[in-house]
Structure 1
Amino acid sequence: MKKIGFIDYFLDEWHAEKYPEWIEKASDGKMKVAYAYGKTNIKGKLSNADWSRKKGIQLLDSIEAVVEQSDYLIVLSPDHPEYHEELSQLPLRSGKPTYIDKTFAPDRAAAVRMFELADKHGTPMYSTSALRFAAEYSELEKQGIESICSLGPGKFENYSIHQVEPIVSLMGTDVKRIMWMGTANTSALLIQYPDGRQGTINLYGWECPFSMALSYQAGQSNFLKIESNFFGAFIENLISFFESCNPVVPQAETIAIATILEYGMKAAKTPYQWLELP
């Protein structure tokens, strides 16, 4: 059995709660989350020690210990990506397959540094939104997409990744510029490509399901609502990555996504003005 180590900002969060059972079941018991480390305890949440006792996962007192004792590594902190670079320093030097949870990095510069560190030490690594693996997206024809309108729940700060990632995976990384079009309660971002193709993301509150409308240059259109088990598909992909050490998400896409998210936060301060991307 291969042992997986969790490295998190704090452990009593949704991804850390769900991933262990999903991974063990999907791998038929060949992989198990055995070790965990949490940087801090959060008021109103279980302490890292209490969480570990509840989950039956051994709490270790350092990232170094988790890296040393684990076969595979998962850096969590899904809602606090500002800690990803710090938490990933030893994992990315380890040479051991490492998954870094969404959102990968708070800005383009951090994303580039993390990939460079992994490459330097020969560490297989990737990051993704689970939405990338929704069956509805995988069945789409990518060629000839002219425009995408994407909708979903949440706040821009930690949920826009789930709409930006599918758009980049479908339309490409060569985004030219972006424009903020949202209101105080409904974030919205226009993403434009050099040839005039464009995508929009719209966050309409927690009751809004993930959905997408697409228009093709040939004139046809498509509308889809995400109802497939995208988390199950993601976990299957994660297991395959650990076994093969081959990430399916290109670095260029992850860096482009980090760039869009970083500049999206800047664009929110100057609505209805184009902001060129590097």
Structure 2
Amino acid sequence: MKKIGFIDYYLDEWHANKYPEWIRSISGGRMQVTCAYGEKDADNGLTNAEWCLQNDIKLLDTIEEVVNDSDYLVILSPDHPERHEALAQLPLTSGKPTYMDKTFAPNRATAIRLFELAKQHGTPLYSSSALRFAMEYVQIEREGIRVISSWGPGAFENYSIHQIEPIISMISSEPKRVMFIGTKTAPALLIEFNDGRQATIHHLGEDCPFTMAVSYHSGNCRITKPESDFFNLFIQDLILFFDTGQVSVPSSQTISIITIIEYGMKAAVCPYQWVDLPRNS
């Protein structure tokens, strides 16, 4: 059995609550979360000690202990990406395959530093929204895509990644600029790519399901909703990553996604004006 260590801001959160059983089940028991570290206790929930007791996972006092006691590492803190850089310093120098939960980083500069640190130490590293792995998105025809329009729930700050990630995976061009075209209660962002293609994302309320319309140069339009078990598909990809050390999500795409989120929030201050994005190369 291969041992996985969790490193989190606090352990009583949705992803940490779900991942251990999914990993154990989907790997057939070959991989299991055996130890964990939490920087602090949840403000409204189980303490780290209570969480570990409930999940039969060993609570360790330091990140270093988790790194030493694990074959693979998962850095969580999904809703506090500003903690990722501090939590990742030792894991990314370990050489052990490391997954960092969404949202990867609070800004472009941090994302670049994290990937550079991992590269310097030969540490396989990747991050992704689970929505990238939805079968409906994976199987969609990519040839001839002209425009993508996406809808979904949640706040722009922590939920836009679930719309941006699939878009970036489908359009093989670097994003060039963004324009905020929504409102405070219904944020929306227009993204233009270097090759002239465009995509929009819309946050239309908590009851809005993830939905995507893809328009093609042929004139055809395909509308799809991710109804497959994309978390199961994501965990399958995570297990393959641990088995092989091979990253399925290019770091350049993750950096582009974080750049769009960061500059999208800047664009919200000046709606209906283009904001240029820095280039990856």
For the aligned pair, the TM-score class normalised by the smaller chain equals: over 0.9
Matched to 2:271, the amino acid is P
Asked if the contact 1:173/1:256 (under 8 Å) is kept, the reply is: no
Asked if the contact 1:172/1:253 (under 8 Å) is kept, the reply is: no
Aligned counterparts, 1:131-142, within 5 A: 131-142=131-142
Match of 2:171 in 1: 171
* 1:202 to 2:197 alignment: no
* 1:249 to 2:249 alignment: yes
Aligned counterparts, 1:1-278, within 5 A: 1-278=1-278
Shift of 1:134: 0.2
CA offsets, 1:37-84, max 9 Å, x none? 000113212111111111111000000000000000000000000111
Identity of aligned residues (%): 60
Deviates further, 24-33 or 194-203: 194-203
Matched to 2:205, the amino acid is G
What is the TM-score when the length of structure 1 is the normalising length?
0.99
Asked if the contact 2:173/2:195 (under 8 Å) is kept, the reply is: no
Q: List structure 1 runs of 4+ shifted beyond 6 angstroms.
A: none
Matched to 1:136, the amino acid is E
Matched to 1:192, the amino acid is E
Distance 1:116 1:74 in 2: 18
Matched to 2:273, the amino acid is Q
Asked if the contact 2:11/2:42 (under 8 Å) is kept, the reply is: no
Deviates further, 139-148 or 90-99: 139-148
Asked if the contact 2:173/2:194 (under 8 Å) is kept, the reply is: no
Report SS of the residue matched to 1:235: helix
Matched to 1:235, the amino acid is I
What is the TM-score when the length of structure 2 is the normalising length?
0.98
Distance 2:38 2:206 in 1: 28
Report SS of the residue matched to 1:177: strand
Which sections of structure 2, spanning at least 5 residues, go unmatched? Answer: none
Asked if the contact 1:167/1:199 (under 8 Å) is kept, the reply is: yes
Distance 2:190 2:101 in 1: 25
Matched to 2:73, the amino acid is L
Distance 2:43 2:106 in 1: 24
Report SS of the residue matched to 1:253: helix
Shift of 1:194: 2.7
Report SS of the residue matched to 1:102: coil
